[in-house]
Amino acid sequence: MLARMMVLHVEPRWISPYVFSCFVTLEEKRLPFDVVVLDSAKDETTTPDHLARTVTGRVPALVHDDFGLAESNAIVEYLDDAFPDVPVLPRDPRQRARARQLMSWMRSDDTAPIREERPTTTIFYAPTTAPLSASGLAAAVKLCAVAERVIREPNLFGPWSIVDAELAFLLHRLLANGDPVPPPVKAWAEAQWARPTVRAWRERPRPPLTAPRA
C-alpha cells in the first residue's frame, strides 16, 4: 500500500504514551507523515470533523487518505498490516499474541496507579518528589516482576517490536522519579530509550507546562 496522505493527530505537549507508540511506529516504518496538534482542553478532539473521521474522537488519531482511526493499539496494528515491510509486531502468531497481551496489560487497571502517580510530565518536564502510595508501589513491583519475566536481550521477541518501546516508556515513569527498578531491567529500559526513533520522540520541542497532565 502507498503511504500517500498520512496525518498523525497528536496532543500539544508530546507526552502521551499512546501518541508515542504511533509516532515511533511511523518513524520505524519510515512512512512520511504530517502532524496536526489537537488540544482536548480546547475541545479540538470533539469537533464534528474529528468525530466523523475517527468515530470516537481523541488523540492519537491517524488519517490515511480517507480513513480515520483512533486508539493507539488499533493504529499500530493497522500500520503493521498495511505497511508490513518493516514490522513493529512479531509475525509468529504466539509471539504476536503475547505482544498484544502486553500492550493491553500496559494500558490496564493493573498499571493505572503508576500512570496516576507518575504522570508523563514527570518524565518530560520535571520529576516528582511524592513517594508512591501503597497501591502505586504494588503496581511498580508487579511491573518490574513482569518486566523481569519477559525481557530478553536486546529485545523481547528477538527483532525489535513496538512492545519494547512501550515497556521502556512505562518503566521510565519509575526511572525518571528514582523509584526502585532492578538493575538489569533499568539497563534494558535505558538501552531501549536510546533507540533513534525513541530519541526522536524524546527530543521533540515541548511547550512550557501550564497545567499538569497524565
Ligand X SMILES: N[C@@H](CCC(=O)N[C@@H](CS)C(=O)NCC(=O)O)C(=O)O
Please report how close the Cβ of residue 100 comes to ligand X at its closest, in angstroms. 13
Q: Distance between alpha carbon 90 and the CA centroid of its chain, in Å?
A: 17
Residues in contact with ligand X by the rule CB under 6 A: 11, 16, 18, 40, 45-46, 57-60, 71-73
Nearer to ligand X, 25 or 73 (CB): 73
CB of residue 214 vs ligand X: minimum separation in angstroms?
Answer: 8
Provide the grid cell at 187: 539497563
Closer by beta carbon to ligand X, 39 or else 92: 39
Instruction: Quote the cell numbers at residue 113.
Output: 496507579
Any idea what DSSP says for residue 63? Answer: E
Nearer to ligand X, 99 or 185 (CB): 99
Contact (Cβ atoms closer than 8 angstroms) between residue 7 and residue 55:
no
Handedness of CA 85, 189, 174, 184 (dihedral sign): positive
Closest to 28 measured CA to CA, from 213, 161, 197, 214: 197
Residue 38, helix vs strand vs coil: coil
Which residues neighbour 67 within 8 Å (Cβ) at sequence distance 6 or greater? Answer: none
Please state, in angstroms and rounded to a whole number, the distance separating the CA atoms of residues 16 and 163: 16
Q: Is the Cβ of residue 11 or residue 77 nearer to ligand X in the bound state?
A: 11
Burial class (CB in 10 A: 0-12, 13-18, 19+), 147: buried
The distance of closest approach from Cβ of residue 155 to ligand X in the complex, given in angstroms and rounded to an integer, is 22
CB of 78 to ligand X, least distance (A): 12
Dist CA 66 CA 54 (whole Å): 11
Identity of the residue, 60 or 68, whose beta carbon is nearer to ligand X in the bound complex: 60
Give least dist CB 16 to ligand X, A: 4
Q: Minimum Å distance from CB 112 to ligand X?
A: 12
Choice between 44 and 179, CB closer to ligand X: 44
